[in-house]
Structure 1
Amino acid sequence: MKRATSEKKSVDGDALALRNASRKVGFQVTIACAIVVVVILVAIVLFIVSEVSLPVLLEPAADPTILDINAFKLLRASAVLGAGLIVLAGLLSWFVTRRAVKPLGDALRVQRSFVADASHELRTPLTILDARLQILQRGLPVGDPSTEVVAELRRDTETLIRVVNDLLESAEGAAGQDGQAGDGSELGPAIDAAVASMDLIAARASVKIDVTQPAGIWTSLSQMNVQRCLVILLDNAIRYAPEGSSVTVDVSVERKTVTIAVRDRGPGIRGIDPSRIFDRFAHAGSAADGGSSGTGFGIGLSLVRDIVVRKGGTVGVVSSSPTGTAIAFTLPVTRP
């Protein structure tokens, strides 16, 4: 397998959002400054034309004592000055906005540090609690009335452990920085593993998973992270899918990118703008089983966004209607 000659710098999702905000604000300030400069230029031109007739402007002065200023030279100088002012305004606005959003970036870093520290502290006691519940579960006699309660406690503990792990990965950015992140992986085995891990959950919900994919496609994302993203999207789709319906995984290649789309036949995204479902802790409407949507804590889809963006990919809602929802992520194609 061909190794990458240079490692791409990891891109933090929040840092990317801040950069985009800075660029947007800077662009708006630049447009405003450009309008002002254009208005000034137009005013200068109108003033000159109103003061001197056009034929006189285009002819050199006959009297040598009169200052000779060619109209074209004056207009050209004004245009150059205006363009320079626009460029300067753009640079200044970019600098000012970067400084303006810096405190927000610092606040986000503090928030991530707190979430990472809290997740570290919670993971160990939760793991110990799960181990003790396993011992208790194995020690219960057959037919004990507490068996079902202990099983429910174990499921709740496992849910909490998954939430803590998601928080930790999202806060630290560990998901996109595993040891083989630069080598990429073949999509086929990762997709098969993700589908196999979700088959049991789909069967319990009476939902079928259908996969359509070409063979031999390699991408920049590691197999572990491809599987991680797909499991989150499948879990989200199965929760929305009505009983007896199907969830489809479609893989398509276009030029140098590959798109993995997950579609369900649910009621569509409700209670929130589709563009916001990738925000951390965002919640949509009720799932098909009456429970909460997605992972139930608004972390999973945000984690997918962070993982994909770090490798130069994109993720978004392709469609959402009363007949179903399609969510897809796109990644660069690499060669083995």
Structure 2
Amino acid sequence: MRDAALRTAWQVAAVSTALVVGILGLAALFVVHQSRPTELLEKPAPGETKIYVDANEVLVALVVLGVLAVIVVGFASWRISRRAVRPLGQALRMQRAFVADASHELRTPLTVLDTRLQLLTRRLERGEPVDETLRAVRRDTRTMIELVTDLLLVAEASAAEQRDEGGADLRPTVLAAGRDLQVLAEERGVRVEVAVANEAKVGLSEPSLRRALVVLIDNAVAHSPDGSAVRVDAEVERGRAVVRVRDEGAGITGIGVDQVFERFRHGPDDGRRRGFGIGLSLVRDLAVRHGGRVVVESTSAAGTTMRLELPIVR
């Protein structure tokens, strides 16, 4: 975009400079033509006063004026060109951010779906019942459809208003997110323990709330040692829904606790699965957009607790 703006500015400046030079050139020829020596021989009529200007001084003034005009035109062309391509640059950044967000958000549900399909294949080979696994696969498929729909809504200008319709029930959404991530956690012997103390309805849509919870739980599972537990507790505190996600990992190191919510920021590589540094920033954006927040409540060598707060819909 910067290169395009610079090229456009040079082109506009070149055309404008040619016009300025042409106009000043014609003005200079006119001055030279009007300052012939014969004019100096003409005697003024009675009561008439004539002022004669040195042609050389006029030409110098025109040259200086022309140079200043070229500089002003060039600078104005550069500013106008940059302003003209700025919306294109913003659109390109939004497109790249959407692709990155969509890729990140689809990764975990696809992994869950792939794991369930592998489990389904093994049960079919052993002749075991598969009805429950098939129902789980159907739930995962519906979740994928809702997720894609929600991502498309995010890309629209009216996404926030559309997502706010109805709100989401806290208990079933938290339980569903914990159930989905348990499939991945079982591969490493990690338990996902979920407890919901109160019924509540929050301002996010069910797909948006589920996305936020999946990111937080998935992040906790990824940083938990094998055989440990991830604890998810949801309750109502002072008129707000609060969800805490606790892991038993080594804590946040090598990066500030506030920086974990910035895009593309990572802690040191501990050999475990790493994301793209987008998930937690999406959770923060969703929470803030709906009047809530997400923070690192505590972190130490014994584990980390993420706290998600959301206003309750009355």
For Structure 1 versus Structure 2, the TM-score category normalised by the shorter chain is 0.5 to 0.7
SS in 2 for 1:281: coil
Q: Which residue of 1 aligns with 2:209?
A: 226
Q: Which residue of 2 aligns with 1:212?
A: 195
Residues 1:205 and 1:179: Cα distance change in structure 2 (over 3 Å): same
| Cα distance in structure 1, aligned partners of 2:178 and 2:228 | 16
CA contact (8 A) 1:258 1:332 kept: yes
What is the aligned counterpart of 2:231 among 229, 248, 255?
Answer: 248
SS in 2 for 1:277: helix
Q: Does 1:320 align with 2:299?
A: yes
CA contact (8 A) 2:232 2:244 kept: yes
Mind listing any 5+ residue stretches in structure 2 that lack a counterpart? 1-82, 104-109, 111-116, 126-143
CA contact (8 A) 1:113 1:171 kept: no
Instruction: Letter of the 2:94 partner, please give it.
Output: R
Of stretches 180-189 and 260-269 in structure 1, the one that deviates more from structure 2 is 180-189
Residues 1:235 and 1:116: Cα distance change in structure 2 (over 3 Å): closer
CA contact (8 A) 1:220 1:334 kept: yes
| 1:188-243 Cα shifts (integer Å, max 9, x gaps) | 11011101111111111111111121232111111111111111111110111111
CA contact (8 A) 2:263 2:277 kept: yes
Using CA pairs under 8 Å that are at least 6 residues apart, name the structure with larger relative contact order, 1 or 2. Answer: 1
CA contact (8 A) 1:169 1:175 kept: no
CA contact (8 A) 1:176 1:310 kept: no
Tell which structure's C-alpha radius of gyration is larger: 2
Q: Which residue of 1 aligns with 2:9?
A: none
Of stretches 298-307 and 171-180 in structure 1, the one that deviates more from structure 2 is 171-180
SS in 2 for 1:304: helix
What TM-score do you get using the length of structure 1 for normalisation?
Answer: 0.49
CA contact (8 A) 1:202 1:209 kept: yes
Mind listing any 5+ residue stretches in structure 1 that lack a counterpart? 1-101, 122-126, 128-133, 143-160
Residues 1:248 and 1:265: Cα distance change in structure 2 (over 3 Å): same
Q: Which residue of 2 aligns with 1:14?
A: none
What TM-score do you get using the length of structure 2 for normalisation?
Answer: 0.52
Q: How does 1:306-317 map to 2 (within 5 A)?
A: 306-317=285-296
Residue 116 of structure 1: how far off its partner (Å): 3.7
Q: Which residue of 1 aligns with 2:219?
A: 236
User: Size of the alignment, in residue pairs?
Assistant: 191
Q: How does 1:155-234 map to 2 (within 5 A)?
A: 172=155, 177=160, 179-234=162-217
CA contact (8 A) 2:212 2:283 kept: yes
Q: How does 1:1-336 map to 2 (within 5 A)?
A: 111-116=93-98, 172=155, 177=160, 179-287=162-270, 290-293=271-274, 296-335=275-314
SS in 1 for 2:258: helix
| Cα distance in structure 2, aligned partners of 1:329 and 1:246 | 19
Residue 117 of structure 1: how far off its partner (Å): 7.0
CA contact (8 A) 1:315 1:327 kept: yes
Residues 1:171 and 1:201: Cα distance change in structure 2 (over 3 Å): same
Residues 1:230 and 1:118: Cα distance change in structure 2 (over 3 Å): closer
| 1:75-116 Cα shifts (integer Å, max 9, x gaps) | xxxxxxxxxxxxxxxxxxxxxxxxxxx9xx977665224444
Structure 1 vs Structure 2 CA RMSD: 3.7
| Cα distance in structure 2, aligned partners of 1:228 and 1:247 | 17
Residues 1:186 and 1:118: Cα distance change in structure 2 (over 3 Å): closer
| Cα distance in structure 1, aligned partners of 2:298 and 2:153 | 26
| Cα distance in structure 1, aligned partners of 2:153 and 2:288 | 12
SS in 2 for 1:334: coil
Instruction: Letter of the 1:318 partner, please give it.
Output: E
| Cα distance in structure 1, aligned partners of 2:172 and 2:157 | 22
